[in-house]
Amino acid sequence: MHEFSIAAEIWGSVARAAREHGGKRVKAIKLEIGALNLIEEEQIRFWLEALAEKDGSAGVEVRVTTTEGREIKVVSAEVEVPDQPKVDQAGEGRE
């Protein structure tokens, strides 16, 4: 169950970021996981997919890069945003 608690933390971080950005459905999650954590990648994938599905983001794509260290880094998330006005007309908040 080690991986479940880590997946739950990762999903919490992703869902919070998506909410803050007015996002709707999370389509992909990019992670960097250090080999020293001895985390089973397939387990993380399985639990993240299950947690995402429960929160309305079924079919999320989980991309994991294995690094050398101890980090469990949530790099970024690809999020669907509803009724996005054209950025050119908005004039602010562009990143």
Partner 1 sequence: MRLFETNERGSVEIQIGEDLQARLEELAERNREWFRKRSIRAFDIAGSVGAGKTSLIAAMVERLSGKHGVAVIAGDVATTYDAERVTGKGARKVLQINTGGMCHLDAKLVHRALEHLPESGLDIVFVENVGNLICPSYFSLGVEARVAVVSASEGSHVIAKHPAMFQSADLVALNKVDIAEAVGVDLAQPEKELEALRPGMRVVRTNCVSGEGVDEVLQALGLA
Tokens of 32: 């960097």
Write down the least CB distance from residue 43 to partner 1, Å: 12
- Name the site residues for partner 1 (rule: CB under 8 A): 1-2, 4-6, 9-10, 13-14, 17-18, 20-23, 27, 34, 37-38, 70-81, 84-85, 87, 90, 92-95
Write down the least CB distance from residue 74 to partner 1, Å: 5
Write down the least CB distance from residue 49 to partner 1, Å: 17
Contact, 37 vs 64, CB < 8 A? no
Helix axis angle for 41-54 and 2-20, nearest 10°, is 50
